[in-house]
Amino acid sequence: MLQPKYDWKVLLSNETDAQMLSELLEIHPLLAKLLVSRGMKTANEANAFLNGSVEDMHDPYLLSGMKEAVPRIMQALEYGERILVYGDYDADGVSSTTLMIQLMRRLGANFEYYIPHRSKEGYGLHIHALEEAHKRGVTLVITVDTGISAVDQIAYANNAGMDVIVTDHHEPPDFLPEAYALINPKLPYCQYPFKGLAGVGVAYKLATALLGSDVPEAWSELAALGTIADLMPLVGENRMIVRTGLKSMSQSPFPGMTALLKVAGWNKGEVTSTQVAFGLAPRINASGRMSHANKAVALLTAESSEQADMAAHELDLLNKERQSLVENIVGEAMDMLEGKEASGNLPDVIVVAGEGWNVGVVGIVASKILERYYRPTLVLGIDSDTGQCKGSARSIPGFDIYEALNHCSSLLEHFGGHPSAAGMSLHRDQLEQFDQRLNAFASDLLLPEHLIPTMTADLECSLQEITLPIIEQLEGLAPFGMDNPSPRLLIRGAKLLELRQMGKDGKHLKLTLEQHGKMIEALAFGKGEIAYLLSKDAMVDIIAEPGINEWNGSRKAQLFIQDISIPQLQVFDYRGSSHPESAIQDILERLLKLPNCQANSTAVVLNDGSDDMYNFKLKDTSLWVYDRRVGVLPKSDGVENAAAHHIRTLFVMELPKSPVIWNTILTLFTSLERVFLMHPMSKSDDVIEIPSREHFKQVYALLRRLAVVSIAEDELVQALKARTSLSRRMLAMTLDVFEELDFIERASGIITVNNAPSKRPLDSSSKYKELGWLAEMEQMMLHSRASQITEWMLAQIQEVS
């Protein structure tokens, strides 16, 4: 058994609506089901989703503030006013700033731009920057991806004689700044139909309002970059913008975009949202995190390939530095949380802070900690000189982190963001109270089910349904991203035929699955650590994304596994291992790193008094011994017999001496998920066979001849062994049966044959039955394949339950 990492859910799809869509749009039923499960019930809705373009976007003047902003900008152009484009340092802000630079250039504006330094200044408008701009003659400020909370800063600009047009998409505060114009679809009074625009999306709408149909298609590349990087929903207008932008990127007129794609591994062909999210966005963000976002703006506005190549390689190096820095801080943060986790005191909302932590990467660190613990997480860097803390938060569904920060606003100097991600600053003296207030707030909102990560599959299907033509149609749902993920398919009961690790340090897995004669390859990235928990021929359930493997002109369907489960008991074969203790410790070290695997859920079982019991050095597991009366008893200090139902992993060091014991164990270890067979293979003198009447007749006939008079048991067994193919142990157990049936008498090691025994059938002997059960168990456990042992154990569990 292998527990999935996530709690699986499957979307519901109305079969009638799906069939109608399939017929009207002439699409495969699988695609139609996906569209319906994602909320598209009519042909018009589905067609708009599949085929919508930028021409179908809403009128930009539906955005509140646009009617005031456009004339003011035109006035500034007419009179040659100095304009300041004020941006942000993340990928959305860089994209927004770059787009506005392109717009200002096209309009022939007298302009400059400014992006604050992430660690030295922090997020948002800053009065000192406005002061300097005012000295340079700026009379109009246009913000992009920032400004909606800048009440004091905009008040200063107004007093200095500068008008401010805010274009932003962050959550508006209760008290809004008195700007010349506020353009934000999330404003409560804004009637714009689509609320999910990124900051660059709002800037793109401003450009559309100013230029109309003359907006260059290439500008959609910048809008796509920021929209994907800022994890905006890829539905509605965002989907249209991103699809157009990705198409343009493959032949981009921006040298910087092409150079960045190349350092990120792109060669040629179509650019995908995945390449942007994991290739371009991190490198753009690395500029602001590790240095200054101006480097990223310089890349995207570069006018020659030479300039662009140099800038792209510089960002690539910054990104590598960022990755190393993140790894170090994550390690330090995990060390802080290790004790709390071990003691069961991990808070509902995690707050960790460290001196010298680079505030440019704390958001990434928060994401990684959230992934590990699945709790809202805040990570802050502390300035050791000033005591100032700047941090980032990442949250889970069901807990609005912006609302939580608002609840703690009296402790914060600044905060802003979205329900799922936010930033904040405060003094270290407030940290403890901040942590307490956050968790008090969470205690009223977070339920146990909120802390269980979920994964949603679009629908359940079989391997037979996953074909090239179907996958090609499913690709019509792209671009994939937030609120429009790549289709996830739930497949149950596929047999695992082959498994191998691949990549550096075996980090990834490649599986071959089979179901009803259909075979398919499946890749599981980042899941190499569970390779030893996947047994050959196991029946697996998976949630996977379909894809196409193209190699040397050949194309075939493949799956990308997102989560995997094995719902039945598994058996792993380590029989005859020369160093079983080392093997167990190696398995435990890997096992205890996985979620849902605790030290108190693992056990070793062997015979009481065994040499191994005294030699075995327990580290992270409990020791149990076989007991004929109750099946198994704990031998480790502090372990109660009642704890048997907690055991999920069992290491069998030796086989029990009675089959009854084995069956009893299966009734005690009710939560058993996996069994590792570590026992030695039997010697020839120990082998027992499933008894037959012929074998008993043969032995009895020899007894009558060899024991005409009383004979020592050792001498008799030696004589019988010389005349049969039976082992010493088998002969000894045969004599036990004869003794129970009164065929012989035993006294002080001497055996005497009863010349007038009562006529009792063999199967009336309990020892005969036990010998049969024991022989069956040992034959299975010693000589069968792991898959056969698994089936046998499952049958035993079914029988005893």
Residue 9, beta-bridge partner list: 456
Query: From 3.90.1640.30, 3.40.30.10, 3.30.1370.60, 3.10.450.50, which CATH number describes the 39-248 domain?
Result: 3.90.1640.30
* CA 733/CA 771 separation, integer angstroms: 7
Residue among 131, 81, 71, 135 nearest 111 (CA): 81
* pLDDT for the residue numbered 709: 79
The pLDDT assigned to 621 comes to 80
Neighbours of 228 (CB within 10 A): 32
Distances from the Cα of 775 to the Cα of 211, 436, 632, 735, 770, angstroms: 87, 62, 20, 15, 8
Of 494, 495, 530, residue with least CA distance to 509:
530
Helix (H, G, I), strand (E, B) or coil at 407: helix
Give, for 772, the enclosing helix (H) or strand (E). helix 766-783
Residues 163 and 192: beta-carbon distance below 8 Å? no
- 5 close to 596: Cβ distance less than 8 angstroms: no
Q: Are 752 and 759 in contact (CB under 8 A)?
A: no
CA distance 690 to 683: 17
Are 183 and 64 spatial neighbours (Cβ–Cβ below 8 Å)?
yes
DSSP label of 30: H
Distance CA 47, CA 608 (A): 71
Its CATH class, for the domain covering 570-681, is alpha beta
- Cα–Cα separations (whole angstroms), residue 328 to 118, 332, 333, 393: 20, 6, 9, 18
Q: Count CB-CB contacts under 10 A for residue 521.
A: 14
Q: 51 and 45 in contact (C-beta within 8 Å)? A: no
Six-digit token pair at 188? Answer: 């409560």
Q: Is the pTM of this model over 0.85?
A: no
**Residue 302 φ then ψ, to 5°:** -60, 145
Instruction: Report d(CA 290, CA 300) in Å as an integer.
Output: 18
What pLDDT is recorded for position 395? Answer: 96
| Residue 576: per-residue pLDDT | 87
Segment holding 606, helix H or strand E: strand 602-606
Q: Are 421 and 394 in contact (CB under 8 A)?
A: yes
pLDDT in tens, 266-317: 988 899 999 999 999 999 999 999 999 999 999 999 999 999 999 999 999 9
- Determine the pLDDT at residue 543: 98
The whole-angstrom separation of Cα 405 and Cα 519 is: 51
d(CA 482, CA 274): 11
685-764 carries CATH number 3.30.1360.70: no
Cα torsion angle, 523, 524, 525, 530, sign:
negative
Q: Where are the alpha helices (H) located in 707-765, listed in sequence order?
A: 713-723, 728-740
pLDDT of res. 101: 98
Q: Is the sign of the CA dihedral 748, 751, 752, 758 positive or negative?
A: positive
Beta-carbon contacts of 520 under 8 Å, excluding residues fewer than 6 positions away, are 463, 466, 512, 513, 557, 558, 559
Note the CATH number of domain 347-451.
Answer: 3.10.310.30
Taking the domains of the chain in order of start, what are their residue ranges? 39-248, 250-324, 347-451, 458-563, 570-681, 685-764
Tokens standing for residue 297 = 């703006």
- Those residues whose C-beta lies under 8 Å from the C-beta of residue 183, and which sit 6 or more positions away, are 63, 64, 65, 66, 69, 165, 166, 167, 168, 202, 205, 206
End-to-end C-alpha distance for the chain, whole angstroms: 18
Neighbouring CB atoms inside 10 A of 185's CB total 22
Q: Point out which residues pair with 165 in neighbouring strands.
A: 142, 181
Query: Measured between alpha carbons, how far is 63 from 616 in angstroms, rounded to an integer?
Result: 72
Amino acid at residue number 188: P
Residue stretches of the chain with pLDDT short of 70: 342, 595-596, 599, 611-620, 800-801
Assess contact for 550 and 472: CB atoms under 8 A: no
* CATH code, 458-563: 2.40.50.460
Q: Round to whole Å and give the CA distance between 364 and 322.
A: 10
Q: In degrees rounded to 5, what are phi and psi of residue 51? A: -125, 5
Alpha helices per DSSP H over 600-726: 611-615, 659-668, 693-706, 713-723
Check if the beta carbon of residue 659 is closer than 8 Å to that of residue 775. no
At which residue do the structure tokens 């704390």 appear?
362
